[in-house]
Structure 1
Amino acid sequence: MNIAPAIHQEKVTQTDLARGDGWSVSDVICRCGPEDKPYEEQHGPSVIAAVLSGNFVYRSDRGSTLMAAGSLMLGNAGACYSCGHEHGAGDRCLAFHFTPGFLEDVAGGLPGLRWIDFPQHRLPPMATLTPLFAAAETALLEEDAPALEELALRMAGAALRLSHADSPPPDRARDIGRIAAAARLIEEHYTEPLTIADIAARVGLSRYHFLRLFSATMGMTPYQYLLNRRLRAAARTLRADRRSVLDAALSSGFGDLSEFTRRFRRTFGQTPASYRSKR
């Protein structure tokens, strides 16, 4: 049985990819833009949506927050929400839906965790999530159902564990637009030699104010966000395209092979060559 709710919005395409006992996963592509007015919706089962590209504003009973590529959108069963694209058009998410029993099973393996509701409605991009996003992009590309089942367990575990950490302060609505533009700029130009000065100038902020605002909103610095985006692209190139380590490094924006290898190993726990050889 598919537990994912149907999406009826004209500009949203949902493709069911895989399902199992208590879980399902869908590829959701949204083409909404600033001209489309957000409207209230309601989550069916609990949901974890991995934002693969684009960004949007997610509004729930916990406030408004920016969902940029590399973020996890969290929704509790039956909760009302809305999504808006006032700062840019389009996004793509890999959406996992879970029954209470599935989440209870996962929570049982996490010491000290007593509740299966998500106390936060977003996990910002962070290095901890980069391997999960790389695995998500590869599984999506290869339509690998067994990999998606494993990924559903890993996503649920990460979301439950990380969302029960200390909650961050809510985003200020007036800052979301500029940070959304900055995140989209990085996403579209991550292979180029971007600097803080370049990005800050594009969004109309001083370098120092931009650095502080981006870090507070996204949970990491602009450079960390850029590195994570490059590493995700490199991981996909290594495993999906089967290209050489050097090709993966250069095509993802790294100019130095030793730096790439060092950063990749720190994030993924293995060398690029080892990652490439595993399926």
Structure 2
Amino acid sequence: MGKIAVTLQQALARRERDGARGGVASRVLAAGNGWNVADLLCTFGPRDPSFEERHDGVCIAMVVAGSFDYRAAPGRELLTPGALLLGNTGECFECGHRHGPGDRCIAFRYAPGYFERLAADAGLAGGQLNFRCASVPALRKLAPLIARACVATSGASSEGNAGDESERAESAESTENGTGARQSAWGELAVELATATLHVAGALTHAPAPASATARSRVAQIVRLIDDTPGAPHTLTNLAAAAGVSDFYFLRTFQQVTGVTPHQYLLRARLRAAALRLRDGDEKIVDIALDCGFNDLSNFNHAFRAEFAASPRTWRARGGALRS
């Protein structure tokens, strides 16, 4: 995930170096009438206790780095990059990191009345407003939205994270006033994400049988391996061997825990990494494709266009879509 994951690793390294306690750093990226979006950087790890909170509105959080256990009324899930965390208004939830330290999320929060209006505009019945599942896996139709949010978050980070409270307050006030193309773009993304999630979550009516703690732990280890080295020559066999199980058992449990197959997860991890590198620099497209694990430029172009509805060259020209 490029700079997104690097920032998380740097925060974890600082915690380890300084012997500091784990925590969650929240940075507001944009806000409007009835919605806001924040960059959440968590440095809790396996030695830290799980923590319980309450959703004060509807929450749809994109997991963009790391992994963690999430427990809410609809169920318990291991959340991995590309997945969505879902939260209903007033619902208590618990997060934990027994499988590995740290995660980073881009969290969209909606006031209940605003979310209800979005649902009505999308033609969804009121009974669908409460999510019946705790998460949505890393699906292709959601990938462009997540990539756009990652690009915008990386851009915001490069403009400076460390402003004082008055600077952050001034920034939040300007976003609520609706000024700036960036805030308008974030608002559009908030609407698109809400509508897409309502449709996808409404279709997920048959939840799989819960995976064991051992299965979740094995999958979490492999997810981190893939995210750390998306360009490596991963195969079902060597990933299963790394998890210490057979190919069949690994394929079944990986899909059960993450909602996608190992191949689908690996492909999307590679495409996310490529999308951010295209935006961040002037490297040759063919070099990015090869570094990210694609055997040739033709395959990369085809997969990229299928995932993001744009060629790599067009994506780069547009600056990743959410630039001011």
The TM-score normalised by the length of structure 2 is 0.80
Indicate the residue corresponding to 2:78 in structure 1. Answer: 66
Aligned: 1:272 with 2:285: no
Matches within 5 A, 1:40-79: 40-79=52-91
Indicate the residue corresponding to 1:13 in structure 2. Answer: 25
Matches within 5 A, 1:202-221: 202-221=242-261
Aligned: 1:146 with 2:195: no
Amino acid at match of 1:58: Y
Cα distance in 2, alignment partners of residues 39 and 238 from structure 1: 37
Indicate the residue corresponding to 1:118 in structure 2. Answer: 131
Q: CA deviation at 1:247?
A: 3.0
Change (3 A) 1:254 1:68: same
Q: CA deviation at 1:242?
A: 4.5
Q: CA deviation at 1:15?
A: 0.9
The two structures, once aligned, show a CA RMSD in angstroms of 1.6
Indicate the residue corresponding to 2:161 in structure 1. Answer: none
Matches within 5 A, 1:131-170: 131-143=144-156, 144-167=182-205, 168-170=207-209
From 196, 199, 211, the counterpart of 1:172: 211
From 303, 306, 313, the counterpart of 1:263: 303
Indicate the residue corresponding to 2:118 in structure 1. Answer: 106
**Percent identity between the two aligned chains:** 39
Count of residue pairs brought into register by the alignment = 271
Asked if the contact 2:304/2:312 (under 8 Å) is kept, the reply is: yes
| Structure having the higher Rg | 2
Aligned: 1:227 with 2:260: no
Q: CA deviation at 1:94?
A: 0.4
Cα distance in 2, alignment partners of residues 224 and 186 from structure 1: 12
Asked if the contact 1:57/1:65 (under 8 Å) is kept, the reply is: yes
Cα distance in 1, alignment partners of residues 210 and 224 from structure 2: 17
Amino acid at match of 2:314: S
Change (3 A) 1:47 1:181: same
Q: CA deviation at 1:230?
A: 0.7
Cα offsets for 1:250-272 (capped at 9, x unmatched): 23222210000011111122221
Cα offsets for 1:218-244 (capped at 9, x unmatched): 221101100001111111122333543
Amino acid at match of 2:281: D
Cα distance in 2, alignment partners of residues 61 and 251 from structure 1: 41
Amino acid at match of 2:129: I
Residues 126-135 or 89-98, more deviating: 126-135
Indicate the residue corresponding to 1:92 in structure 2. Answer: 104
Cα distance in 1, alignment partners of residues 295 and 116 from structure 2: 45
Cα distance in 1, alignment partners of residues 118 and 31 from structure 2: 17
Q: CA deviation at 1:10?
A: 5.2
Cα distance in 1, alignment partners of residues 108 and 262 from structure 2: 28
Residue aligned with 1:164, SS: helix
Residues 241-250 or 85-94, more deviating: 241-250
Residue aligned with 1:186, SS: helix
Amino acid at match of 2:189: L
| Bigger proportion of residues as helix | 2
Q: CA deviation at 1:185?
A: 1.1
Aligned: 1:188 with 2:228: yes
Cα distance in 2, alignment partners of residues 41 and 241 from structure 1: 39
Aligned: 1:254 with 2:266: no
Residues 39-48 or 87-96, more deviating: 39-48
Residues 213-222 or 46-55, more deviating: 213-222
Cα offsets for 1:159-194 (capped at 9, x unmatched): 111111133224323321111111111111111111
Residue aligned with 2:67, SS: strand
Change (3 A) 1:272 1:199: same
Cα distance in 2, alignment partners of residues 132 and 14 from structure 1: 21
Cα distance in 2, alignment partners of residues 246 and 101 from structure 1: 47
